[in-house]
Chains A and B, each alone.
Chain A
Amino acid sequence: MVREFKLPDVGEGVSEGEIVRWLVDEGDAVTEDQPVAEVETDKAVVEVPAPVDGTVREILADEGEMVPVGNVIITFDVEGEPVEEETEGEAARAASGEPEAEAEPAGDKGAETAVAADEETATPEGRVFAAPSARRLARELGVDIGAVDGSGPSGRVTEHDVRAAAEGGSEPAAATEASGADAGGSAAGSKGAEGAQSGDGAAGGAGATAEASGAAAGGRQVESADRDRTLAAPATRRIAEEEGVDLNAVPATEERDGEPFVTPEAVREYAQAQQEAQAADTEALAKRAEPAEREEREPYRGIRKTIGDAMERSKFTAPHITHHDQVVVTDLVETRGRLKEKAEDRGIKLTYMPLIMKAVTAALKEFPVVNASLDEENEEIVKKNYYNVGVATATDAGLMVPVVDDVDEKGLLQIASEMNELVQKARDRSIAREEMQGGTFTVTNIGGIGGEYATPIINHPEVAILALGAIKQRPVVEDGEVVARHTLPLSLSADHRIVDGADAARFTNRVKEYLKNPELLLLE
């Protein structure tokens, strides 16, 4: 029979691993526990042992490929073994080098109960034991519940497991969203925009209340005249009585014999003004009584909380420095203007972003410390010789960062086309988690809505993120004269643990150079 081997969950919070090296070829005979591959995760390089004696049937992942946990990476032919599904439990044991559990003596119920957790291996695939609330949470957080290891009784998947999978197990994705969130805080975040709107709404409401009480207090000159003695005709007094108005309070428009004299019109006007003021008062009070008008509460959970947690982790794990600069991009604007039409002829929309990604990648090659991550556990700085650039994207569901892989190996049009496709997928929520993972550096465009500079939060465990302001004409001093030039504000946040201020400034200078002279990119 064929035994499939899935990439096991080799450690807490690891959702994928890179196949560093295959130690066997297809057709090779293997013995149980013989290492067949080296797999690198965020945490470490581990050897993956064969779970059985047999021969290698098929190798399903290339060296250098990032493989999500749970994907089948190799299959073995095993002779004479009864048909049985490989399971994650076995795979995990195999990976951790633990011996297979010994068969329990038959008929001993107590012993069976004790090893119940191991016996989940008997559970057929495709069925996940989890409460409906955990299933719903998994959908909310975009977690494939089938890929979550359960920590509950007999391996039941709990809400806690789902959260852990969303936060830890798919750290890159969560962090990705977080940096998107950060970008959106300043950038084209639709959520941010919504937030602003609801803020306005609340302010508007408060304003209305203030107005209403203003009317109540002083609106139509309804202060009481408060005299001791007022002259009026008997008919006027009757009107005052009917309207419930104190005559001494009605502003007098005339005098008779040196005493204030009140007309029927004045009484009616005063009565009406008072009624209006009362109504306004009541309204204002009523408005105050509705707490929803002044503040609204909504649950902090789901994607919003995932974003928040990842931002918090990034901000408090990596001491941020932010380096600000501005570059004159006259040539870039012209170049893009020319290329845009050519790209359109080929059906591709060319924005500035692919050019900037190219420039950033060129600079990253010169400053490997910016294209790195910090392996805190092993106290190693991991410098990456691949350049996967994330692009923060505002979506209705929150902020996401699709990643364009291997930017250094791709042409502008390919980058543009891949990026456009990924961004669209992120917006309509059809994007796969894997398409938001594996980034080495992130770019976020804050110019869409407004603002110049920002302090973007790093897409942890990356070590730097670049925020772009809007490209527009700004005053620039050239040869002692102020002239209007297209400029681009840049804000680079970096993890100060491994990126020094000088590194950040030098890296930014290189990016600037490429953006100022885009033809330099031709050399790349």
Chain B
Amino acid sequence: MVVGDIATGTDVLVIGAGPGGYVAAIRAGQLDLDVTLVEKDAYGGTCLNYGCIPSKAMITAADVAHEAGNAEEMGIHADPAVDLSAMVDWKDGVVDQLTGGVEKLNKANGVNLIEGRAEFADENSVRVAHGGEGQGSETIEFEHAIIATGSTPIEIPGFSFDDEPVLDSRQALALDELPERMVVVGAGYIGMELSTVFAKLGTEVTVVEMLDSALPGYESDLARPVKKRAEELGIDFHFGQTATGWEETDDGIRVSTEAVEEEAAAEADGGATAEFDADKVMVAVGRRPVTDTLNLEAAGVETNDDGFIETDDRARTNKSHVYAVGDVAGEPMLAHKGSKEGQVAAEVIAGEPAALDYQAVPAAVFTDPEIATVGLTEEEAEEEGFDPAVGEFPFRASGRALTTGDSEGFVRVVADEGSGFLLGAQIVGPEASELIAELGLAIEMGATLEDVAATIHTHPTLAEAVMEACENALGHAIHTLNR
């Protein structure tokens, strides 16, 4: 502690006000604990400010523009003009409303909010350096700490986010002018979501991916419709390539790539190296946990080889009074997983019998079409020793999907053959991100195929496809051929 400075005490110190941290703080406040929440940047964290919310806002806006301009089939002729700066202002308004809400909710639940960067001084205290020069610092002593510092985009050699034409996803979402040409490095979900946004707004997009497919984390039949639609939008894919550098040219920049496997590349792309002209390059190759600024050693908290803080089913680290939630606590890096962990950490601290014993974490990719998954795939179910029963229903057999003009994709359910318990589901298609919720609930409730199949679903809706997929697994689907 600095001489002359007085430490304040708190029951629960939460570091980071993202969806893991602010939820933990609010829940702890609800449970009558004295809570202090330290945030160095903006309430709501990456999710609200630079990730989920702004990207989904931009995806929606881009969809509106794209659909309006491509509805001749429905008899609509329009030529939408996009004012990117106004679109970004609208998106910022949405973000402001949400972050303001987070701040108000925290205050209403009695959470002490402190702006600054926290770093452990020892096992029971942190020093918080307030933002800006000469703003000073303070020491906070805590009984329990919850680390919720999130993650940050990974930089690759040769591409510094400090350079103006090189963008991370956050900067890409804040552009006030549409680039004419953009190279996107990485075909994971962030790369694919934003490539789609820019392509729909009129940018010429080239995607460079090191692996041999788009959305490599997903089953190929889920990723295929997304790649197909992206290609229809004019996105140019180059697989098996790593980006090696960029240079300025007379009319923009030139991004150079190198084949991962020379021979394969020579066949596929006609050479071991390639160059792509662009105005901007966005690097979206993944995210890493933010633990380097915390001085974790002082608290005795350990990280694993990947930099994540390992936690148990109560969100506790190797120090039983220190908890870690959200991205910093490991994969999957999903806001909703972090929020649940935050909630559990707060309840555990308050002595409630909470634990992270969920059966499945849903995930969604907001591409076109959307992909959403929950629980086990057929292969994973087999690996776990189940004899899986699988049912599918294609959206082209869904009346509602046809009326939206978007009938690409399918719902697939995976269940245990003997008992009928639902184990997992994969959806690619319209509103997949919304439809997955029903199947997540079914898995958590220990529902069977029969339970879902026997539940009346509203007609005409996309949700009927969920019911039909379960019926298909039971061998009595009405609107599709049974397997």
Contacts and interface: CB of A to CB of B under 8 A. Distances in A.
A112 B354 CA distance: 37
B162 to A, nearest CB: 45
Nearest to A107: B475
Q: Which of B387, B417, B419, B451 gathers the greatest number of chain A CB atoms within 10 Å?
A: B419
Contacts of A113: 420, 450
Contact of B446 (A112, A119, A157): A157
B353 A131 contact: no
A124 B444 CA distance: 17
B385 A124 contact: yes
B354 to A, nearest CB: 8
Given A109-B476, A139-B354, A152-B446, 17 more contacts: A109-B474, A113-B420, A120-B419, A122-B418, A122-B419, A123-B386, A123-B421, A124-B386, A129-B419, A129-B421, A131-B445, A131-B446, A132-B357, A132-B445, A153-B450, A153-B451, A156-B446
B213 interface: no
A290 B137 CA distance: 43
B448 A131 contact: no
B353 A154 contact: no
A109 B475 contact: yes
Contact of A136 (B353, B359, B416): B353
A153 B448 contact: yes
Contacts of B387: 122
Interface in B376-431: 384-387, 416-421
A225 interface: no
Contacts of A3: none
A132 to B, nearest CB: 5
Contacts of B450: 113, 153
16 contacts: A85-B385, A109-B474, A112-B418, A116-B418, A122-B417, A123-B386, A127-B359, A127-B384, A129-B446, A132-B357, A132-B444, A136-B354, A152-B446, A154-B420, A154-B421, A156-B421
Contacts of A140: 353
Nearest to A303: B353
B57 interface: no
A155 interface: yes
A154 B448 contact: yes
A135 interface: yes
B87 interface: no
Query: A-B pairs with the 5 shortest C-beta distances?
Result: A119-B418, A124-B385, A129-B446, A139-B353, A154-B419
A339 interface: no
A130 B386 contact: no
B274 interface: no
Nearest to A132: B444
B355 A123 contact: no
Contacts of B355: 135, 139
A155 B151 CA distance: 41
Interface residues of A, number: 26
A129 B417 CA distance: 14
A157 B385 CA distance: 20
A123 B448 contact: no
Interface string A250-283: 0000000000000000000000000000000000
Contacts of B451: 153
A405 to B, nearest CB: 28
Contacts of A154: 419-421, 448
Interface of B: 353-355, 357-359, 384-387, 416-421, 444-446, 448, 450-451, 474-476
A154 B451 CA distance: 11
A120 B418 contact: yes
A119 B419 CA distance: 6
B357 A135 contact: yes
B444 A123 contact: no
B419 A155 contact: yes
A132 B419 contact: no
A137 B317 CA distance: 25
A154 B357 CA distance: 21
A116 B353 contact: no
A132 B448 contact: no
Contacts of B445: 131-132
Contacts of B358: 132
Interface in A281-339: none
B418 to A, nearest CB: 3
B85 to A, nearest CB: 45
Contacts of A119: 418-419
B384 A124 contact: yes
A129 B359 CA distance: 9
A68 B119 CA distance: 47
A495 to B, nearest CB: 34
Contact of A123 (B353, B418, B475): B418
A116 B384 contact: no
A153 B442 CA distance: 13
Contacts of A124: 384-386
Nearest to B450: A113
A129 B475 CA distance: 23
A140 B419 CA distance: 28
Nearest to B418: A119
Contacts of A121: 418
Interface string A215-237: 00000000000000000000000
Interface in A99-155: 109, 112-113, 116, 119-124, 127, 129-132, 135-136, 139-140, 152-155
A119 B418 CA distance: 5
Contacts of B419: 116, 119-120, 122-123, 129, 154-155
A152 B358 CA distance: 19
Contacts of B444: 131-132
Contacts of B420: 113, 116, 154
A135 B357 CA distance: 8
B448 to A, nearest CB: 6
A42 to B, nearest CB: 28
B125 to A, nearest CB: 24
Nearest to B351: A396
Interface in A73-111: 85, 109
A136 B344 CA distance: 12
A524 to B, nearest CB: 43
Nearest to B359: A127
Q: Which of B358, B421, B451 gathers the greatest number of chain A CB atoms within 10 Å?
A: B421
Nearest to B444: A132
Q: Which of A122, A123, A129 gathers the greatest number of chain B CB atoms within 10 Å?
A: A129
Q: Which of B386, B446, B451 gathers the greatest number of chain A CB atoms within 10 Å?
A: B446
Given A109-B474, A122-B387, A153-B451, A130 B416 contact: no
A113 B444 CA distance: 21
Nearest to A129: B446
B446 A130 contact: yes
A199 to B, nearest CB: 20
B317 to A, nearest CB: 19
Nearest to B476: A109
Q: Which of B354, B387, B445, B451 gathers the greatest number of chain A CB atoms within 10 Å?
A: B445
A113 B446 CA distance: 16
B357 to A, nearest CB: 5
B446 A122 contact: no
Contacts of B448: 116, 153-154
Nearest to A125: B385
A116 B418 CA distance: 6
A72 B320 CA distance: 32
Nearest to A130: B446
Interface in A155-194: 155-157
A113 B387 CA distance: 15
Interface in A333-356: none
Contacts of A109: 474-476
A444 to B, nearest CB: 25
A153 B386 CA distance: 18
A116 B358 CA distance: 24
